[in-house]
Structure 1
Amino acid sequence: MNLARSAVHRPVFTVMAALIVVILGGMSLYRIPVDLMPDVTYPTLSISTIYENASPAEIEELIT
């Protein structure tokens, strides 16, 4: 109860303390290293076939 009473009796101090907390919070927000998009390598497999004079549909049906 004593904290609330002093906050009401000293509004300038309360506003200044709140501003300091907001400013320090904003400064720390920019200093925290956060990876929003970390480097991730997914395993991939690439297969290449040569089947002359064939359409893509024929390659899909006959080779795969």
Structure 2
Amino acid sequence: MRIVVDRPRCEGHGLCEEAAPRLMHLDDDGELVLDREEIDEADAALANAAVRVCPVAALRIA
């Protein structure tokens, strides 16, 4: 399982970072950086929470 970011859609709100700080963060330019694209079962709940809180639906789980 992995997190996929629709980069043109992402507006850098940072809600995903708040939901899953172990998996992603915003860089100094406000761009989303995935610390890990591949998600194991232990982090699945965090990844799903990040997807749910994105106000522009820029994240999905594949």
Query: Shorter-chain TM-score category?
Result: under 0.3
Q: Which has the higher contact order (CA 8 A, sep 6+)?
A: 2
TM-score by length of structure 2 reads 0.24
Give the strand-richer structure, 1 or 2: 2
TM-score by length of structure 1 reads 0.24
For the pair shown, which has the larger CA radius of gyration, 1 or 2? 1
Give the helix-richer structure, 1 or 2: 1
